[in-house]
Structure 1
């Protein structure tokens, strides 16, 4: 098994995926829980002391009796001091080893809830369900419509609508890692409930159906055709014919826990569900760190899918501490990485802020517009190209994704330069890249 490298930048990294809570796997769960603690301890030693937590925790209200709760999850609500009538509702799902409180305190979502006026519901996993407190996105008993953890979160939404007056037509979901994978589950299983979602360092829906396949999905990833991925979404609720939720994808380009290939597969899955191609209709650079932002627009210009590739970070939620309009979050806990306030851009994509991320801005006419993204070049070993999602393997050989050019043996010794143009299409460019 690959262990996240403690020397990677921007702090600690999340442990491998959860193990099933079923009795035969309890010993393995305890082992991986220990591995998670060890990895974070080593990272802390190498990167220095973790800054002290913020003085005041975000106020959360625990909610019980929200339904039959078949997944045995906990529900918390954060209600800003001022809310409009029938406010939008955002559901947030934490990552492995985290809690609802930690995600509220560091993700930046409560700041955005106050600015944009939405109700925030946070679901929390328990160690009784999963030793590492990961949502069980890979178990069919928890990842299907009307079952387990997915059904529990559905009941939380129904309770928030009934008890807090949230608008049932403006319900959204976002999550990190295992929470991101569970976000994919909810968007597929309940397209009649969620208008949009944002998957942060997560995985495509129905990539795994057991523990073993969960590891393969995370690293090196699973490469299916867009049509195959889309069919898995449609099979989650066969009676549903649309409209489908809009989907935003966020992923660090140095993530070795859930490799960046998963961002490509998520793009393929949801663009195909929406009947779109896999070439972006608009590409730009956003935020203080020049995050690569790709939009896939449907008829009428509404962005159905967007992909945000965050440079220089590993596994975690991108945040940008500060008090500015586009700043949020805290880096005083593991898996919150100083780069860009993803919560700001996610709220915009949901249409909850003054800048509606779902509709491209008007054509400014002549003059400077969004920063164009030039063709990118990547020089790495064949192994690294595959890990990053720029190439695939077959029969021990490596092939550039898009052009399908044969790059030679799949190992760490053969090195090539790949040119990416257009986005997601790679070709050999040895000696011919600027």
Structure 2
């Protein structure tokens, strides 16, 4: 007879596998530019840390925390997402949390575990410690810290924005989920597909409850989703937009709708407090657009989908193109 523990572990592995992304064969050439960092804190989530600091980076530069998806690692996300190009051109540091196989057999961040959804606990606390360590070590600007992530990393991005609104000025949730859509393994499947439908105020209350003492402005939030995503369905983008507009206290009615590329639309809420990017026909992955033009970036690869350079639009949204030079 299978024990209750054994059954729970099977379900845990199943939910991880459902979100798993196809890993790349071999290491990308740019991986050598990444530097592993140890001793960054108590690390309660038992994560690994990598950084990319462009040569000659000035003191007071911004920082972007970039969180990989399932089946990926820091090197894969660094090589393909497009963020390295803008770090080099516009002068900011990149911080990459990396999941360990011991924590999740598929390399997913544990966004669906209640112990990894709160401030000062588990994986979110480890990521916050990485940011603090990088700010001190590389003399970065703590007021200009941002976070982005794909899939399970996108769901972890939502956790960081909710639990640490005092540490991040803005963030980008790519093919992710609303904050606390799931609080255990069983509910995660439903959140991913077909999605969970709550009222905007109920979603907003979850964000407000993540850091009850916070009374400052909410971080800006960008949401990216493909209409053909059958792994984390696009209903999650709609629910995320409802969550973050309510948390920011801005109307749920759009203030602007703009076509940014063929098949790609940006819907803006409030005074650019929340952005929802919809990419027609795109599946599950990070939008990239390889090429030399100023608004192009990244490499097409499994789960890096050749559509539009999301890193460029996010970096502009974060204000990283403000003339800062190395």
Q: What TM-score, normalized by structure 2, do the two folds share?
A: 0.92
Larger radius of gyration: 1
More helix per residue: 2
Following TM superposition, by how much is the alpha carbon of 1:32 offset from its aligned partner in structure 2, in angstroms? 6.6
Which residue does the alignment assign to 1:323? 292
Deviation at 1:318, TM superposition (A): 0.3
8 Å CA contact retained: 1:327, 1:341: yes
1:261 and 1:335 map into 2 onto residues whose CA distance is 19
Given the alignment of the two structures, is residue 159 of structure 1 paired with residue 133 of structure 2, yes or no? Answer: yes
CA distance in 1 between counterparts of 2:18 and 2:113 reads 22
Q: 1:203 aligns with which of 156, 177, 183?
A: 177
2:318 pairs with one of 341, 344, 350: 350
Paired position in structure 2 for 1:74: 48
Asked if residue 118 in structure 1 is aligned to residue 96 in structure 2, the reply is no
Whole-Å separation in 1 of the counterparts to 2:14 and 2:199 = 35
1:253-295 CA distance string (max 9 Å, x none) = 11011100111111000111111111110111003x2411111
- 1:376-395 matched pairs, under 5 angstroms: none
From the superposition, tell whether residues 102 and 241 of structure 1 become closer, same or farther in structure 2 (CA, over 3 Å): same
Change (3 A) 1:40 1:88: closer
| SS of residue paired to 2:33 | coil
Alpha-carbon offset, residue 56 of structure 1: 4.3
Asked if residue 172 in structure 1 is aligned to residue 146 in structure 2, the reply is yes
1:296 is aligned to 2:269:
yes
Runs of 4+ in 1 over 3 A off after TM superposition: 22-37, 50-58
Deviations 1:156-189 (A, max 9, x none): 0110111011100000000000000000000000
2:73 to 74, 84, 99: 99
Q: What's the counterpart of residue 281 of structure 1? A: 255
Q: In the superposition, relative to structure 1, how do residues 244 and 76 fare at CA in structure 2: closer, same or farther (>3 Å)? A: same
Of 175, 180, 190, which aligns to 2:164? 190
Q: Structure 2 residue aligned with 1:144, among 104, 107, 118?
A: 118
What is the CA–CA distance in structure 2 between the aligned matches of 1:274 and 1:28, rounded to whole Å?
35
Output the aligned Cα RMSD: 2.2
Cα distance between partner residues in 2 of 1:138 and 1:229: 16
Give the C-alpha shift of residue 354 in structure 1: 4.5
Question: CA 1:95 to 1:295, structure 2 compared with 1: closer, same or farther past 3 Å?
Answer: same
Q: SS of the residue aligned with 2:114?
A: coil
User: SS where residue 292 of structure 1 aligns?
Assistant: strand
Q: Which runs of 5+ in 2 are unaligned?
A: none
What is the CA distance between 1:25 and its match in structure 2? Answer: 3.3
Gaps of 5+ in 1: 1-21, 42-49, 356-434
Give the drift of 1:296.
1.0
Which residue of the partner structure matches residue 244 of structure 2?
270
Corresponding residue for residue 8 of structure 2? 25
Asked whether the equivalents of residues 280 and 296 of structure 1 are also in contact (C-alpha less than 8 Å), the reply is yes
Question: Which gives a bigger RCO, structure 1 or 2 (Cα 8 Å, sep 6+)?
Answer: 2
CA gap of 1:270–1:81, structure 2 versus 1, over 3 A, is same
Give 3-state SS (helix, strand or coil) of 1:322's partner: coil
| 2: CA distance, partners of 1:141 / 1:55 | 36
1:250 matched to 2:218? The reply is no
Secondary structure of the structure 1 residue equivalent to 2:246: helix
- 1:281 aligns to what SS in structure 2? strand
SS in 1 for 2:276: strand
Number of residue pairs matched by the alignment: 319
The change in CA–CA distance for 1:72 and 1:52 in structure 2 (over 3 A counts) is closer
Q: Find the aligned partners of 1:52 and 1:26 in 2 and give their Cα distance.
A: 29
Q: Kindly indicate whether the alpha-carbon contact (under 8 Å) linking 1:274 and 1:304 is maintained by their aligned counterparts in 2.
A: yes
Report the secondary structure of 1:351's partner residue.
Answer: coil
